[in-house]
Structure 1
Amino acid sequence: MKKLALAVVVFNVVVVGACLVGLAQELPQYGESPLAAGLKAIAAAIAFAGGALGTAIAQSRIGPAAVAAVAEDQKNFLNALIFIAIPETLVVFGFVVIFLL
């Protein structure tokens, strides 16, 4: 697990470094360079994928606990629904930010 975490960190550092190189270049007179626009899109996609993966991991642990709580007592349904919806907002906000870029 530690090797996987290290590989993810190294990959993110390499991608961010590539984006910084692309954004540090001087822009031509007509606007943004195509390379910088492409690197921004790749960085946004990787950031969104990381948030979506984190949300999936959170929901995979919250879901069974929420179902068990509702099975024991029906009064826990609203709490379970809220606990499942909170991580999902991360994906929704990430999706909105991608379209704003």
Structure 2
Amino acid sequence: MVCALATGFALVGPRQADHIATLVSALVAVAGLGIAVWAVVSTVPGRRSVQVSDTGGARARGAGSAVSGAVISIRNSAETIEVRNSGAVDAADDGEATSGVRQF
């Protein structure tokens, strides 16, 4: 890349080489800024993805609680939550059961 630019600059003359160098510098600066912003955004803490599948059944009795799927804290919420084929749930005697996603 550097050799190609040096050869191009030698062929076009000093005035055009100055303009081309300015344009190339601006493009590299914009690309660098874009990469820096992307790196910061992609490493933001708390952004995550949760995937759950084929969890089976759950049963809650008494004051118990059961989840067939995923339990997610609202404070540490995920960017995406995907639950597939969560199992059947059964709750009795004041129990609480969830099939899918439960947030707390």
- Work out whether the TM-score is over 0.5: no
Structure 1 length normalisation: TM-score? Answer: 0.31
Give TM-score, length-normalised by structure 2.
Answer: 0.30
> Relative to total residues, which structure has the larger strand share, 1 or 2?
2
Greater gyration radius: 2
Structure ranking higher in helix proportion: 1
